[in-house]
Amino acid sequence: MIELLAGWPGAELVRANPVAYLLLNASHILGIGLLLGAILPLDLRLAGLLSGPLGVLGPWLSRSAGLGLGLAILTGLWLFSVDPPEYLKNPAFRIKLLLIGAALANLAALHFSPGWKAARAGRRIAPAVRLMAALSALLWLSVLVAGRWIGFL
């Protein structure tokens, strides 16, 4: 499976062309920027540290974060395909994957909770939603740090 991933034409293109790697890496950073640039204000609003109409901000920030997450995942998988065995040996990469999994689980728990729907409707933000929002901010920032750590190991 790893050999198939490493052998796909996109991985070969990026390995052979430094400009392609540069553009792919920049696209990954753009995805991360969109994700964090949207999720952090939303999390801080839900945690009660920022103000603003959640019914207006929430859907827009959620969609922006989703777009960033999609771009980061697609480009991240493509970057991984360039040298899967090397990434899999890197402890920071493995930690990053665990943190992404935890952040996505927290995201699903939040979005399927009745508290999220109530908060988006303008009702009181439940303590559980505040806690999940704070955890979300911590997890996504930790993903960012783990991603940067990969290059140092």
Which of the two residues, 55 and 101, has the higher pLDDT score? 101
Residue 3: predicted pLDDT = 84
Residue 11: predicted pLDDT = 97
Instruction: Quick: pLDDT tens for 85-138.
Output: 999 999 999 999 999 999 999 999 999 999 998 988 888 999 999 999 999 999
43: pLDDT confidence band, cut at 50, 70 and 90? very high
Residue 90: predicted pLDDT = 98
Residue 5: predicted pLDDT = 87
Residue 120: predicted pLDDT = 85
Residue 76: predicted pLDDT = 97
Which residue pairs from 82-91 have beta carbons closer than 8 angstroms and sit at least 24 positions apart in sequence?
82/6, 82/11, 82/14, 82/15, 82/21, 83/6, 83/15, 84/2, 84/5, 84/6, 85/2, 85/6, 87/150, 88/2, 90/150, 90/153, 91/153
Residue 97: predicted pLDDT = 98
